């Protein structure tokens, strides 16, 4: 079977202005002390793909403008709104007050498996943690619950940028069912 790849112009993507004026998805991403500009750039690009409303860059996260971040984001950092916050725990309380279900993406004693998660709300804040230490324990404690990506291999984690894509895909699929 012969198949032709689509040209970028044929993909029907929306413009940056259309992205900013579209109806809100109800999904925000919180990065808790992600140290790599490449991982933050990937978070922007993936968030753009899934229509995330905003990214919160917590603590030591690199913040645009950044050449390293831009290299991976490919301009998504100019489209997806973002805000730097010093304290992620304070942000969690603010998001809860704004009606978000706050979810730490982390392996915990009581974490819910992504494939068993059934969304029951309209607004979700997904927290992804540091490449080495994950989501801070105080942030896990402040969240409504923890969500875990089921894994079958020998390693205990995925790269944070991969986790963001997997969880956003899973949440979007679950919400649209």
Sign of CA dihedral 110, 114, 117, 123: positive
| Site of tokens 């004026």 | 21
pLDDT digits (tens, 9 = 90+) for 127-137: 999 999 999 99
Q: Is residue 34 part of a domain?
A: yes
pLDDT digits (tens, 9 = 90+) for 106-142: 999 999 999 999 998 889 999 999 999 999 999 999 9
Q: Please give the Cα distance from 151 to 155 (Å, whole number).
A: 8
Report whether pLDDT(67) > 70: yes
Mean pLDDT over the full length of the chain: 96
Q: Look at residue 176 in the predicted model and tell me its pLDDT.
A: 76
Q: Look at residue 142 in the predicted model and tell me its pLDDT.
A: 98
Q: Is residue 10 part of a domain?
A: no
Q: Is residue 11 part of a domain?
A: no
pLDDT digits (tens, 9 = 90+) for 20-33: 999 999 999 999 99
Q: Please give the Cα distance from 161 to 106 (Å, whole number).
A: 14
Average confidence (pLDDT) over 152-177: 93
Which two structure tokens, joined as six digits, stand for 37?
A: 């500009």
Which two structure tokens, joined as six digits, stand for 11?
A: 């993909």
Average confidence (pLDDT) over 24-44: 98
Q: Is residue 7 part of a domain?
A: no
pLDDT digits (tens, 9 = 90+) for 82-107: 999 999 999 999 999 999 999 999 99
Q: Is residue 141 part of a domain?
A: yes
Residue 177: band (very low, low, confident or very high) from pLDDT cuts 50, 70, 90:
low
Domain span at residue 130 reads 21-175
What is the number of domains present in the chain?
1
Q: Please give the Cα distance from 110 to 103 (Å, whole number).
A: 12
Q: Look at residue 175 in the predicted model and tell me its pLDDT.
A: 83
Q: Is residue 45 part of a domain?
A: yes
Q: Is residue 135 part of a domain?
A: yes
CATH code at position 110: 3.40.1280.10
């Amino acid at each position: 079977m012969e198949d032709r790849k689509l040209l970028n112009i044929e993909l029907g993507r929306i413009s940056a202005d259309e992205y900013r004026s579209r109806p809100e998805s109800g999904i925000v991403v919180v990065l808790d002390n992600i140290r790599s500009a490449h991982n933050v750039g990937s978070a922007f690009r993936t968030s753009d793909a899934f229509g995330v409303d905003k990214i919160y860059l917590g603590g030591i996260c690199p913040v645009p403008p950044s050449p390293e971040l831009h290299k991976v984001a490919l301009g998504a950092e100019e489209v997806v709104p973002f805000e730097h916050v010093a304290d992620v725990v304070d942000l969690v309380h603010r998001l809860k007050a704004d009606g978000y279900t706050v979810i730490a993406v982390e392996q915990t004693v009581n974490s819910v498996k992504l494939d068993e998660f059934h969304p029951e709300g309209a607004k979700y804040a997904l927290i992804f943690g540091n490449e080495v230490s994950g989501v801070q324990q105080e942030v896990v404690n402040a969240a409504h619950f923890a969500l875990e990506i089921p894994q079958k291999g020998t390693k205990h984690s995925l790269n944070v940028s991969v986790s963001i894509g997997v969880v956003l895909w899973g949440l979007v699929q679950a919400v649209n069912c």
